[in-house]
Structure 1
C-alpha cells in the first residue's frame, strides 16, 4: 500500500503532458496577412486588414484543445482603390462607427478527410453566424505557418445591404484568406 502512494503521484505527473492543451503561438506581423477576395461589377479585387490580433493555440494531434480567437479592426481595410477604401468603413458596409471590430472564435475543429476545418462564430456588424474555415498548419523549427481559407455570405452580416444588396454588382460570397507566421510562446 505504501508503494502505491508513492507511485500514484509519479503516474499522474507522467500523464499530465498527455492531457495538456495545444501549443500557444504568437503571430509575427512581418510576413502575416489577413485578407479577403470579392468582386465588384464582375472584377475581382483583394483586400487586407492592416490591424488585427490573433490568439492561436493549435496542435494537429490535439484538435479538441486547439483554439483561434481573432479580432479585426475593420477601419484598417485596404483594397488599393481609394473610393472602395473610403466606402467600406462607412454605414453601408462595415459601419465602423457603430461596429469597429469583427471577431472570430472557434467552437471546435474537425477532420474532413485530409483537411482540418475550424468551426467557429464570426461576429460582424453585430450579427453572429457560424463560419467554417479550412486550416493548413505547417510546423517550421520553433514556429509554424498557418494558412486559413473559407467563404462568407456578406448579406448574412448586413454588409453592403440596401442599395448595395444587388449580388450581380457586388458578389454575395466573400473569400477569406490568411497566411500567419507563428512563433511558439
Structure 2
C-alpha cells in the first residue's frame, strides 16, 4: 500500500509540468526613467530621480514575466527651474495628493519582431491601459532593458484646466527607460 502511494505520487509529480517562471532582476546604478514632451513647440526631456522597479522577465517566458514600477513624482527634473517647480504642483502631478505614479504589467505579447508590455498606469488617481515596447539584451548574468511608449497627458489630468491647450503643451509624452539589470 505504501509502495503504491509512493509510486502514484512520483508518477503525478513527473506528469505535472514544472512551473515556468521568468528570471528576477534587480535594477542597478546607471538606470534611468525619463520622458520627452514639448512646450511652445520646443522639445524638452525630463527624468525622475527616485523610482523602484520589480522586474521579472524572460523573452522565452512572456506569460510569467512582470514589471511593477513605482515613481516618486516629486523627484521630477527637466533642467528648467520654472518647469521643475510647476510639475509637482496641483496643475500637473499634484504630488501633495498623488505622490506616486504606478505601472504594472498585465500581459506581454509579440508584435512582429517587437515585444509589447501591456499594463496599467495610475497617475493622479486615474488608471488607464498603457502599452510599452520592450528591448531586452542579456549581458553575462544580467541584462539591459529599454522601454519606450507614449501616453496622452490629458488622459491622466496632467496639465488640465488652463494648461489643457495642446498647442502650448504637447498632448503626447514619450516615456523612456533604460534599466541595467543584475540577476537576483
Is the aligned partner of 1:120 residue 2:119? Answer: yes
Gaps of 5+ in 1: none
> Shift of the alpha carbon at 1:8?
1.9
> Shift of the alpha carbon at 1:11?
2.2
Q: For the aligned residues, what is the CA RMSD?
A: 1.6
Instruction: Kindly provide the CA deviation profile for residues 103-160 of structure 1, in whole angstroms up to 9, marking residues without a partner as x.
Output: 0000000000010000000000000000000000111101000000000000000000
Query: Aligned ranges for residues 154-169 of structure 1 at < 5 Å?
Result: 154-169=153-168
SS at match of 2:94: coil
> Shift of the alpha carbon at 1:77?
0.2
**TM-score normalised by the chain length of structure 1:** 0.93
- Match of residue 8 from structure 1: 11
> Shift of the alpha carbon at 1:9?
6.2
Instruction: Kindly provide the CA deviation profile for residues 3-34 of structure 1, in whole angstroms up to 9, marking residues without a partner as x.
Output: 95475266258x42xx3211110001x21000
- Match of residue 95 from structure 2: 96
Query: d(CA) in 2 for partners of 1:166 and 1:87?
Result: 16
- Match of residue 20 from structure 1: 20
Is the aligned partner of 1:184 residue 2:161? Answer: no
**TM-score normalised by the chain length of structure 2:** 0.94
Gaps of 5+ in 2: none
